Structure 1
Amino acid sequence: MIVKSIDRTYGLFQAFDRAASVQELNRCLLGAVGKLGVESTFAGVIPVPGTSRRDQAAHVLLDSTPAGWSERYFKAGHLFRDPTIRRLTTDLTPFQWSDIEPQYREDAAARRVMEEAGDFRLRQGFTVPLITLDGRVAGFSFGAERFDLSPELRGMLQLVASYAFGRSIVLSEGPARPGVHLTPREHEALQWAADGKTEWEIGELMSISEHGAEKHLRAVRAKLGTASRAHAVAEAFRRGLLR
């Protein structure tokens, strides 16, 4: 039984190593943890206090949260009100989101973050604190509408989070990434997205329809190999497409 478990773990990590992009890594990761009830993942390095909302998204490494949540999160300035982020920066013990509810019960801003997350099917979660080799605090969260975590499952998710996070850094920072060419209009739409504008606002600023703005941003996501707008902005910063 132990040998079989080790073989399964080794096979999953081999699959992570074969992933040629962050998007492919995310699909592989979800394929594995989805069997445990996890519906989405989100991971990144915690920005230092005072980091602008535009630059906060550049710290995201993995994002498979429901459509619209990442954009809502950063546009609303939730990062430093988020009780899970506060916990990450003060305690490096993995935790379920329900564990910290007593700590933010009387904090209206923190409650709002968690309530809005629930509106996006992120009612329950498990967050694993991580430390990079240069001493930066990072977090890896698994979310779902509902799932139960046994002690064994918590340990398993910690192991998977550590390996997947390391692999995401290699894929994000590695020198082998192919060049990406954005059209001037795609670049302009991406720039406005980095500034936190909605698709409607981008359309107004670019004198095009909201659908036209969405089309440009879809093209950007496809070229960058990302699944969400926040992840596209983060990847664009890493590639030097945004300053």
Structure 2
Amino acid sequence: MTRRTLDTTLAFLRALDRAASPQDVGTLLRQELSEYGVEHMLAGMIPSPGASAGRQYGHVLLDGMPPAWIKRYAAKGYIYRDATVRRLCFDQEPFTWSSAVERYADDPMAVRIMHEAADHGARAGLTIPLLTLDASLAACSVSGRHFDVPPDKVGTVQLIATYAAARLMLLRGSESVEVRLTDREREVLQWAADGKTAWETGEILAVSSKTVEHHLSTSRQKLRALNGVQAVANALRQGLIH
């Protein structure tokens, strides 16, 4: 991500900080991601296996999917056969819905669920795995009939969706743990936000890339992040970097 792109993204994140409700967050996301064909979105924690439809819905932070589809999805218990949810259990990086379906192509129910989602207007999508501060698995998905994100824009969409999910958790009151980073951890995260690799950051700070990776790893642990992008988003949200 270039500095110019980051500055534009940061302006949007500041708008998210002013969002007063999940509906406001959803509206901002649709506006910001409309150029990629985003029409629908869903964010929430992953419920334990066997949870009732009501309990499943209680884990939802943002319901921006077609109502008829959400009702059918919950009533049929699709969450436990959904290819995207199953992939969340082992994949820490964003993935397209098509790649998730390919992985479970031998499961007729998984394929059927995605076909039904397409019938309701969510033909293609991108899912971003997340981790809450209490180490619960969560995710944010964006989708649409003509959804398409260029490979070089996936990182930007990931940062925006991750930050939006954090804002939703704050609105619910489930993300209030204060995180303390060392000065070095703050430095390496700031350079990561500027798009620098571990090697480039090491050159700037006159340390080895291995040392940079160590500080990135400890900061991810403190911020309860699955990956570097979520760590940057969490640090931005808490004002630890800018």
- Normalised TM-score (structure 2): 0.68
Contact 2:37 2:145 in 1 (8 A): no
Q: Percent identity?
A: 41
Output the amino acid matched with 1:77: G
Q: SS of the residue aligned with 1:130? A: strand
Quote the Cα distance in structure 2 between the aligned partners of 1:97 and 1:142: 10
**For residue 41 of structure 1, what is the aligned residue in structure 2?**
41
The answer to whether the 8 Å contact 2:9/2:156 transfers is: no
Q: Which residue of 2 aligns with 1:154?
A: 154
Partner of 2:169: 169
The within-5 A match list for 1:89-168 is 89-168=89-168
Structure 2 Cα separation of the partners of residues 154 and 9 of structure 1: 13
Q: How far apart in 1 are the matches of 2:2 and 2:43? A: 29
Q: 1:194 maps to what in 2? A: none
- CA deviations on 1:64-91 (whole Å, 9 max, x unpaired) are 1123111111011111010100000122
Letter in 2 for 1:49: P
Residues in 1 aligned to 2:2 and 2:76: alpha-carbon distance in whole angstroms: 46
Q: Distance in 2 between the 1:161 and 1:52 partners?
A: 27
Aligned AA (1:32): E
Map of 1:73 onto structure 2? 73
Aligned length: 174
Cα offset for 1:9? Answer: 1.1
Cα distance in 2 between the residues matched to 1:38 and 1:153? 14
Structure 1 runs not aligned, ≥5 long = 175-243
Question: Once the two structures are superposed, what CA deviation does each residue of 1:191-212 show, in whole Å capped at 9, x if it has no partner?
Answer: xxxxxxxxxxxxxxxxxxxxxx
User: Could you say which residue in structure 2 is the equivalent of 1:13?
Assistant: 13
Structure-1 residue corresponding to 2:87: 87
Query: 1:55 maps to what in 2?
Result: 55
AA in 1 matched with 2:33: V
Cα distance in 2 for partners of 1:139, 1:21 equals 18
The amino acid across from 1:161 in the alignment is A
Cα displacement string for residues 5-39 of structure 1 (whole angstroms, at most 9, x for unaligned residues):
23311210111011111111111111101122211
Equivalent residue letter for 2:118: G
Gaps of 5+ in 2: 175-242
Give the residue type in structure 1 aligned to 2:168. Answer: S
Q: 1:5 to 1:91 in 2, by over 3 A?
A: closer
Who is 2:177 aligned against?
Answer: none
Residues 101, 114 of structure 2: 8 Å contact kept: no
| Cα deviation digits, residues 50-106 of structure 1 (max 9, x gap) | 212221110000121123111111011111010100000122221001112222222
Counterpart-to-counterpart distance in 2, 1:13 and 1:58 = 26
Decide whether aligned partners of structure 1 residues 105 and 3 sit closer, same or farther in structure 2, where only a CA change above 3 A counts: closer
AA of the residue aligned to 1:151: P
Single out whichever of 106-115 and 80-89 deviates more from structure 2.
Answer: 106-115
Q: Which amino acid aligns with 2:112?
A: R
- Structure 2: which amino acid aligns with 1:169? M
Which secondary structure does the structure 1 equivalent of 2:67 belong to?
A: coil
CA drift at 1:3: 4.6
Higher relative contact order (CA 8 A, sep 6+): 1
